[in-house]
Chains A and B, each alone.
Chain A
């Protein structure tokens, strides 16, 4: 494609030549030659156009916060000119080290360049690294462009705790946290739960011979049945409060999802019935159930949640879930933030939730308050005390909720991991 600069050169040459022809002036005609020959030489020197590269492999599954190195090797051949290579990164990834833009001037011969970036996954969900884009320009701006490689797809999941990271012994807990509580697990009922691998000590009558024959495994498979008197945990995720803080790169909702996913996984692995209500639009309800099936059903849905200001009030979700609170007498965990704009609506929701429990000194309600103050970029000089002021501002509200018989777990994701916060909750007298 002829560039604007090339056209200007031709136009200047044409005007001078015409002037020379009209006046019969050899000087004007001579003046018309350099722009013309510069144009011809620039046309002969085409920009680099044979650009090839490899398609690197990236992990198919990533955890939020996981870092990995992304390298692409590019071979540039043919032509002379400036080469600009750009690797666009998806919103879910943050560039930690290196540069995703490479520029160079290519003379004759073949050039090999490498783009190396250290990336970190910052948001959950499906993400795709698009093909590498290149653009080349010659001296007068004649350019060509193209793409290298294929779209590389991956899925980012919230950070999940591995089993056994938080251990507890049966005793009386300071907080109504069931993992430190004395469990009331009874005898197995006749309600089928799931099929799992045989473990030493399992009754022989529970072996599912048909399933074992069908799977053709070395160890037998056994049926597992629900146990009577199982404890339940109900989770209420407040999207309204958590969606408001943070930015496109670092959102409070991401941490809320991480907390919810970990609670689901943790209690499911320990045999609790886990239910979840999310006040998104439309609201999402997962009725209390136990086993891996429940985890498999909840986690992908959480992974698809996007920040949205259009939400349902938390109190409506609590009302809709009230039957489960009355039936199971569960531990209720509310994942929210007092730094959001819903701080006035939150006490009403908590008050409503308390009415479903019998009157006692301390309700089995835990509020996980995700603090956003450290997510605010530190402005210079006099504004740098904003995080401290936010902390002081939220303090009376925290005290008021705490004095009403509700346990509060403050989690500052910028200062501690979710595991640290959980460990703090299981301390005993």
Chain B
């Protein structure tokens, strides 16, 4: 606790509070139970991530589990139709609202994951007796780099999600005219995916 980077800790707490409020309100709306859940999630997050410096997977999984009833309402394949029809939890949201909820959850998790790594590295650097101003500078610059990368990943993801949503109908209508070639198109896309993976593998190796 003593070797905590206060700036990173404040960001972590802010993210925990934000994720807790959004997750709780997606489950119970604006009721008393929602407030209790918010406090429960905040305490869990602060204790596990900020206090104990554990990995943020535990907290993020609880948050994701809380948002699941709301997200599952947008299933196209209704595997849980019987369960969901009797469900009393999870507010009904539009697709855009659910996407917003999903992005806050996942971006929050990614930020917490990288900030946790920054905290661990910060502690290791203090133990290795590096200069204080160097540690501060590295932590600050790394936080900026992480924020930029997570921000761009979010932007790209939103663009891809919106584009795929609008293009999906058009492409499927177009492909329906070439029902005989659907296997060839599928194979082509698979090959493209394989090529991408191969390139990534080569880059990582080098």
CA distance A107 to B137 in the complex (A): 12
Contact yes or no, A25 B74, CB < 8 A: yes
- List which A65-123 residues lie within 8 A (CB) of chain B: 80-82, 99, 101-105, 107
Stretch of A37-45, A280-288, A350-358 with 4 or more beta carbons under 8 angstroms from chain B: A37-45
On chain A, the residues within 8 Å of B134 by CB distance are 102-104
B75 in contact with A38 (CB, 8 Å): no
0/1 per residue, A390-417, Cβ < 8 Å to B?
A: 0000000000000000000000000000
The interface stretch among B9-17, B30-38, B39-47, B99-107 is B99-107
Query: In the complex, how many angstroms separate the beta carbon of B101 from the nearest chain A beta carbon?
Result: 8
Residue B18 lies at the interface, judged by CB distance under 8 Å to chain A: no
How far, in Å, is A32 (CB) from chain B's closest CB? 8
A139 contacts B145, C-beta separation under 8 Å = yes
Other-chain contact of A5, B101, B117, B125, B130 (Cβ < 8 Å): B117
Chain B residues with Cβ under 8 A from A42's Cβ? Answer: 149
Q: Is A8 an interface residue (CB 8 A)?
A: yes
Cβ–Cβ contact B138 & A28, under 8 A: no
| Contact indicator A27/B137 (Cβ below 8 Å) | no
Q: Is the CB of A38 within 8 A of B149?
A: yes
Tally the A-B contacts, defined by beta carbons under 8 Å.
Answer: 123
A105 to B141, Cβ gap below 8 A?
yes
Binary B-proximity of A33-68 (CB < 8 A = 1, otherwise 0): 111011011111110000000000000000000000
Q: Return the CB mask of B76-105 against A: 1 if under 8 Å, else 0.
A: 110110000000000000010011011101
* CB <8 Å contact, B137 and A105: yes
Inter-chain contact A33/B157, CB cutoff 8 Å = yes
Instruction: Collect the chain A residues with CB atoms within 8 Å of residue B103's CB.
Output: 30-31, 34
Q: In whole angstroms, how far apart are the Cα atoms of A2 and B206 in the complex?
A: 11
Q: Decide if the interface of chain B is mainly helix, strand, loop or mixed.
A: helix
Closest-by-CB residue of B relative to A142 is B204
* B179 contacts A by Cβ under 8 Å: no
Given A25-B74, A139-B145, A99:B130 Cβ within 8 A = yes
Chain B residue at smallest Cβ distance from A35:
B110
B103-135: which have CB < 8 Å to A? 103, 105-107, 109-110, 113-114, 117, 121, 125, 128-131, 134-135
- Docked Cα-Cα span, A412 to B161, in Å, equals 78
- Smallest CB-CB separation from A140: which chain B residue? B114
| Inter-chain contact A41/B138, CB cutoff 8 Å | no
Cβ–Cβ contact B130 & A38, under 8 A: no
Residues of A within 8 A of B99 (CB): 26-27, 30
- Is A199 located at the chain interface by the 8 A CB criterion? no
Chain B minimum-CB-distance residue to A32: B106
Judge if B160 is at the interface, Cβ distance under 8 Å.
yes
B29 within 8 A of partner (CB): no
CA A142 to CA B206, docked complex, whole Å: 12
Contact residues in A for B114 (Cβ distance below 8 Å): 5, 139-140
A96 to chain B minimum Cβ distance, whole angstroms, is 15
- B146 at the A interface (CB under 8 A): yes
Q: How far is the CA of A82 from the CA of B75 in the complex (A)?
A: 43
B149 touches A41 (CB 8 A): yes
Complex: how many Å from CA A310 to CA B150? 62
The answer to whether B200 touches A40, judged by C-beta atoms less than 8 angstroms apart, is yes
Contacts of B137 in A (CB 8 A): 104-105
Most buried by B among A37, A43, A101, A141: A37
The reply to whether the CB of A204 lies closer than 8 angstroms to some CB of chain B is no
If the complex has contacts A34-B107, A41-B152, A105-B141, are A5 and B165 also in contact, measured as CB distance less than 8 A?
Answer: no
Nearest opposing residue in chain A for B114, CB measure:
A139
Give complex CA distance A370, B76 in Å: 88
Cα(A82)–Cα(B98), bound, Å: 37
Q: How far is the CA of A2 from the CA of B76 in the complex (A)?
A: 35
Which B residues are in CB contact (< 8 Å) with A141? 117
A27 touches B110 (CB 8 A): no
Q: A107 → chain B, closest Cβ, in Å?
A: 7
- Residue ID in chain A nearest B205 by CB atoms: A1
The CA of A99 and the CA of B71, in the complex, are separated in Å by: 53
Bound CA span A35–B153, Å: 8
Asked whether, in the complex, the Cβ of B142 is within 8 Å of the Cβ of A27, the reply is no
Instruction: Determine how close the nearest CB of chain A comes to the CB of B3; give it in whole angstroms.
Output: 15
Contact A31/B142 with A25-B72, A43-B204, A139-B149 known, Cβ cut-off 8 Å: no
| Least Cβ–Cβ distance between B120 and chain A, in angstroms | 10
B131 touches A99 (CB 8 A): yes
Q: Is A24 an interface residue (CB 8 A)?
A: yes
Chain A positions 272-311 with a Cβ under 8 Å from a chain B Cβ: none
Query: Which of B106, B142, B145, B200 meets A43, CB within 8 Å?
Result: B200
Q: Which B residues are CB-close (under 8 A) to A9?
A: 110, 113
User: Given A82-B138, A105-B142 in contact, is the A31-B105 Cβ separation under 8 Å?
Assistant: yes
Could you write out 22 A-B pairs with CB less than 8 Å apart?
A: A5-B117, A8-B113, A23-B72, A23-B75, A24-B77, A25-B75, A26-B74, A26-B165, A30-B99, A30-B102, A30-B157, A30-B161, A31-B103, A33-B153, A34-B103, A34-B107, A43-B203, A44-B203, A82-B142, A99-B129, A101-B129, A105-B142
B residues near A (Cβ < 8 Å) are 71-72, 74-77, 79-80, 95, 98-99, 101-103, 105-107, 109-110, 113-114, 117, 121, 125, 128-131, 134-135, 137-138, 141-142, 145-146, 149-150, 152-154, 156-157, 160-161, 165, 200, 203-204
Q: Which 3 pairs across A and B sit closest by C-beta, in order of nearness? A: A24-B76, A105-B141, A33-B157
